[in-house]
Chain A
Amino acid sequence: MHELSIAHSLVETASRAAQDAGVQQVQAVHLRLGALAGVVKEALLFSYDIAAEGTVLAGSRLEIEDIPVAIHCPNCAVTSTLASIQSFCCPLCGQPSADIRQGRELELVSLEVSDEQPTYP
């Protein structure tokens, strides 16, 4: 179980970005999670709330986009996504390929924020 440690890294990176941008409140954090990242989504969601406590991210939503693995087939010259990470074969022709083009992502994409706007008389 290393999702708590991942969640802490995520919160650290996101809070720094929020602070740098002068953001007061974060509504949501958007993350891209590759099927090969080695992170269990449910465990990360659970850990996120714990890690976010007491930070600018407290109470925010973690929105995770699942990214499937994509491999490039030299036979077909086509990149296809895999239905399962237990078989690295081209879905078109069946040729095995280790040429991975997508699926390792563990990427903080964006924050949904609201700014404290100054009030004018």
Chain B
Amino acid sequence: MNSPRILEIRRSVLEKNDVLAQNLRARFTAAGVLVINLVSSPGAGKTALLEATLRHLRENGIGAAALVGDLATDNDAQRLARSGAPVRQIVTGGNCHLEADMIETHLADWGLALDSLDCLFIENVGNLVCPASYDLGEHLRVVLFSVTEGEDKPLKYPIIFNTADVAIITKIDLAAAVEFDRDAATAAIHAVHPGISILETSAKTGKGMSNWLDYLNTCRNSFALHRITP
């Protein structure tokens, strides 16, 4: 009987995804495309915010496109395509999150000219857990949560809030109706991610949209955002 010996390895289990994501990010940066990964629980309002955002960006001559992950349907892609922006669906077939290789494959099939774009949005699968572990090559990870979800949501899902670059409180038009406690929500977000920027939007009334669009514009202009691996 041989005595066991230790074979040192020291490699990230997600190395393949991380390397792919870094290559994607380098490509996006070289092409001057700001890439934004939208994450939230199902129904928080990713598609609604994206519809309004795409419409507005197009009206202002900013080239924007969207990749949309969905477990099974292409409903969101159809909604987004009405904005006139190029939209492509990624049906994950039950996979609860997007991974960098899905982005790469779909970009290759899509034949989208990255050079002609300013912004590429990725709507992740509605899930506050799994998408946190997967870098998609984005410059900006945006976590959304709606006023109807409860102010303590960030404490229940600290990792996704911690790995995000900005948090958006959505459906702000419903705040009064659900007695939304803004201070409690802000405290919860800052408890798990001190200093993170918090925006408020309503895709319904347009409230807060200009702040969000300004934020995007600032990011596009600086491009100094180099995400650390989540």
Contacts and interface: CB of A to CB of B under 8 A. Distances in A.
Nearest to B5: A113
Contacts of A105: 12
B158 interface: yes
Interface string B174-187: 00000000000000
A36 interface: yes
Given A2-B130, A36-B163, A85-B158, A21 B7 contact: yes
Contacts of A17: 7, 9, 11
Interface in A1-50: 1-2, 5-6, 9-10, 13-14, 17-18, 21, 23, 27-28, 31, 36-39
A10 B13 contact: yes
B25 to A, nearest CB: 17
Interface stretch (B53-61, B79-87, B139-147, B191-199): B191-199
Contacts of B10: 107-110
By secondary structure, the A interface counts as: mixed
Chain B, interface residues (CB within 8 Å), range: 35 or more
Interface of A: 1-2, 5-6, 9-10, 13-14, 17-18, 21, 23, 27-28, 31, 36-39, 85-89, 96-98, 100, 104-117
A26 B159 CA distance: 33
Contact of A9 (B6, B16, B132): B16
Contact of A110 (B7, B163, B194): B7
B9 A38 contact: no
B214 interface: no
B221 interface: no
Contacts of A87: 191-192
Interface in B1-41: 2-17
Interface string B101-145: 000000000000000000000000000011011000000000000
B129 A38 contact: yes
Contacts of A88: 162, 191-194
A105 B229 CA distance: 10
Given A86-B155, A96-B194, A115-B2, A108 B11 contact: yes
Contact of B13 (A97, A108, A115): A108
Contacts of B196: 98
